[in-house]
Chain A
Amino acid sequence: MFAFFKRLFDANLGEPIVIVSGLPRSGTSMMMRMLDGGGMAIMTDQLRTADLDNPKGYYEYERVKELEKETDKSYLKEGRGKALKVISWLLKDLPDDNRYRIVFMRRDLSEVIASQNKMLKHRGEVDNSDDKMMIDAYMNHLASVRILSRKRDNFEMLEVRYDQTVADPAAAAKAVNVFLGGKLDEGKMREAVDKELYRNKKVAT
């Protein structure tokens, strides 16, 4: 009986929006590129263009950055059946009137911070944050995201590791394709992974 009502409820919310999420610089653009290559429709306005930090583009939708502030989020319905990039910080602000299938990118936090710091420098931003403190803050934030994904009935989440995707794109493409229903071209998804772009690698100790 519960399954019947759940199906009815899900049908009302339409196709899920595929959200590619994670901390900035954890491989979200790479995953968007993989989905794009695999044949998934992408929700992007291409306002933020490719640069030194993301030579192959950001795949962003500018309005999403206002999720914390905006009250009318009905535009997100346009993303049903498409892939949309939403950084982890903003997942909590996604409205309840959609279903979300979230591909969540994970990367070593020291690599994330090194890459973020580089990007801040390129953007001419002053950053006085302490790296160790940021790792702690991000760890807590990621735990909160996991809790959120369990609490929200309309969230389904798959965690994908950036380093493992670069090392074995075929396995990552397969896992993501299965999670998203199996309709994507895994060969094309694999081809979208550029190992050369894995630049801020943690030095083995």
Chain B
Amino acid sequence: MFGFGKNVNVKVDKDLYARVAKVADVAGYATAEEFVQHILEKEMLHFEDTKNDADIRAKLKGLGYIS
């Protein structure tokens, strides 16, 4: 409560949560929370990953849109 812990609560649609819990169970995760955390970490890598920045920059430079 009030940010003292290491976890926060996120609200999701009830039906979606039911589906998540089902898949988490089938996939062998200890809890639905563990499954959600795993998915979010995987997805976040896409946005935080900057390994393609050099490729984009090279292309845009070649096209004459950045200096």
Contact = CB atoms under 8 A, between A and B. Distances in A.
Interface of A: 24-25, 48, 65-66, 68-69, 87, 89-90, 116, 119-120, 123, 125-127, 129, 133-134, 136-138, 140-141, 143-144, 147
Interface in B7-66: 46-47, 49, 52, 55-60, 62-66
A25 B60 CA distance: 11
A65 B65 contact: yes
A90 B66 CA distance: 8
A68 B65 CA distance: 12
18 contacts: A25-B63, A89-B56, A89-B60, A116-B63, A120-B63, A126-B62, A129-B55, A133-B52, A133-B55, A134-B56, A134-B59, A137-B52, A140-B46, A140-B49, A140-B52, A141-B52, A143-B46, A147-B47
Contact of B60 (A24, A69, A126): A24
Given A66-B67, A144-B47, A147-B47, A136 B62 contact: no
Given A137-B52, A137-B55, A140-B46, A89 B62 contact: no
Q: Say whether chain A's binding surface is mostly helix, strand, loop, or mixed.
A: helix
A53 B32 CA distance: 51
Contacts of B64: 48, 65, 123
The listed residue with most A CB atoms (<10 A of its CB), out of B46, B57, B63, is B63
Interface of B: 46-47, 49, 52, 55-60, 62-67
Contacts, number: 58
A89 B66 CA distance: 9
Contacts of B52: 133, 136-137, 140-141
A44 to B, nearest CB: 14
B42 to A, nearest CB: 13
Nearest to B46: A140
Nearest to A128: B58
A116 B59 contact: yes
A93 B12 CA distance: 33
A22 to B, nearest CB: 11
Contacts of B63: 24-25, 116, 119-120, 123, 125
A140 B47 contact: yes
A144 B50 CA distance: 11
